[in-house]
Amino acid sequence: MSATGVPALDATMGGLFIGIIVGATLWGITALQTWYYYREYPNDPWHFQLLVGLVFTLDTVHQIFISHTGYSYLVSNFFNPAYLEHVTWSILAEVLISGVVAVLVQSFFVGRIYTLSKKNLYVTGVVVILILAQFGVTLAYCSRAFTMSTYTQIATIKGLSMAINGTTAATDLAIAVVLCSLLHKSRTGFRRSDTLINKLIIFTVNTGLLTSLDAICSLATIAALPDKFVYISFFFALSRLYANSLLATLNARARFRGDSEVTSSISLSAINNVRPGAVLESVHAHAMGVRSQSNNIAIRIDTTKQFNSDRDGEDMTDDRKL
């Protein structure tokens, strides 16, 4: 403790303060992406527009709560060291808001898994169970924490706090792995169509791993420094990263639409029926890009097959949602 009677705050309120700054910066990106979404995709289905509006609203409330937390400790109770042990309501409420945002965004990606897996209930069900487990742990933590008034008491449920971060990381990793696996199975073996799929895989990994890594960092720091607030600086950013991963996915459709306007591959539906050496592939496929009313990437592939016979070339078209 310093000579003035106020303890050193670098590892406690310092971590909280950094988390608020990072959260506010990411909230600005969220606001920009939300504005871009409504401007570029006014004809999206109503449930997509509702989801974006709800996630942005909750993310804004989350930023208000963590800002209130910082103001309570660092302004309203400045030079009141006794208050530093007190748990303000807003720091607990933000945990619940963050959990709701996570479930909404993860449910959106579950919808993509359900579609890409051709409505495979086993694959989809595993991810849904992880999401429910994550949200269940969050509710259990909040129900206990709201009955406590000091950080000494909160320390007794450290296991639940670690479980939130652990299940969050596991769920996001599972979503990323499943989506990448399903996209990988959509490869045709032809360079240009596979290039688009590779871009989708890289994009999926980048958006999914951000939240996973953040949750892992929060888990590691709470395990190594349980009496510090370093983990809070990571946890405050989690809600914002979820919101931005959703918006980045929706807004990237315009970019992929431009990338897909190339001459590329062959009919996905007929590729298994073509014998090696029997056909000379004259490939001039073309990706239609991303329909503005859907989160799926729709690739249209036109193929000309020239057989080694007197038969005329055969044109085929295949649509596949990615």
**Pairwise CA distance, residues 211 & 223, whole Å:** 18
Compute how many other C-beta atoms are within 10 angstroms of the C-beta atom of residue 177. Answer: 14
Q: Is 189 left (phi over 0), alpha (psi -120 to 50) or beta?
A: left
- The answer to whether residues 92 and 240 belong to one domain is yes
pLDDT at 81: 84
Report if residue 5 sits inside a domain. no
- pLDDT for position 190: 66
Residue 127 lies in a domain: yes
Structure tokens at 238: 């989690």
**Both 172 and 303 in a single domain?**
no
pLDDT of residue 226: 85
Q: What is the mean pLDDT of residues 104-114?
A: 93
228-234 — which CB contacts under 8 Å span 24+ positions? 228/11, 228/12, 228/15, 229/11, 229/12, 229/13, 229/14, 229/15, 229/16, 229/19, 230/11, 230/15, 231/15, 231/165, 232/15, 232/16, 232/19, 232/91, 233/15, 233/16, 233/18, 233/19, 233/22, 234/19
**Which of residues 200, 221, 251 is at a domain's end?**
251
- Whether residue 223 lies inside any domain: the answer is yes
Q: Does residue 307 form part of some domain?
A: yes
Number of domains forming the structure of the chain:
2
Question: Across residues 102-129, what is the average pLDDT?
Answer: 92
Is pLDDT at 313 greater than 50 in this prediction? no
CATH of the domain at 175: 1.20.1070
Average pLDDT of the residues in 160-178 = 92
Last residue of a domain, one of 251, 274, 306: 251
The predicted model scores a pTM of 0.77
In this structure, is residue 7 part of a structural domain?
no
Residues 56 and 26 sit within 8 Å (Cβ to Cβ):
no
Q: Last residue of a domain, which of 251, 277, 312? A: 251
Q: 286 phi and psi, to 5 degrees?
A: -145, 130
* Comparison of pLDDT for 10 and 105, the residue scoring more: 105
| Residue 2 placed within a domain | no
| Interatomic CA distance for residues 152 and 87, integer angstroms | 10
Alpha-carbon distance of 215 to 242, in angstroms, equals: 11
In a domain, 6, yes or no: no
- Note whether 243 and 282 are same-domain residues: no
Q: What secondary structure letter does DSSP report for 150?
A: B
Q: Does the residue 213 lie in any domain?
A: yes
SS3 187: coil
Give yes or no: residues 150 and 298 share one domain: no
pLDDT digits 0-9 by tens, 57-104: 999 999 999 999 999 999 999 888 888 889 999 999 999 999 999 999
Query: In terms of domains, do 242 and 267 share one?
Result: no
H or E element, residue 316: strand 314-321
- The larger pLDDT score, comparing residue 284 to residue 300, is at 300
**Under a CB-based contact definition with an 8 Å cutoff, are residues 182 and 113 in contact?**
yes
Q: Are residues 305 and 162 in the same domain?
A: no
Tell me: do 297 and 199 sit in the same domain.
no
Average model confidence (pLDDT) across the chain = 79
Residue range 193-197: mean pLDDT, rounded: 70
**pLDDT (average), residues 138-149:** 95
Q: Which domain holds residue 72?
A: 13-251
Provide the pLDDT confidence category of residue 259 given band limits of 50, 70 and 90: low
83 vs 262 pLDDT, higher one: 83
Q: Do 237 and 270 lie in a common domain?
A: no
For residues 241 and 268, membership in a common domain is answered with: no
Between strands 285-286 and 314-321, the pairing is: unpaired
Are 185 and 61 within one domain?
Answer: yes
Comparing C-alpha atoms, which of 206, 125, 224, 211 is closest to residue 164?
Answer: 211
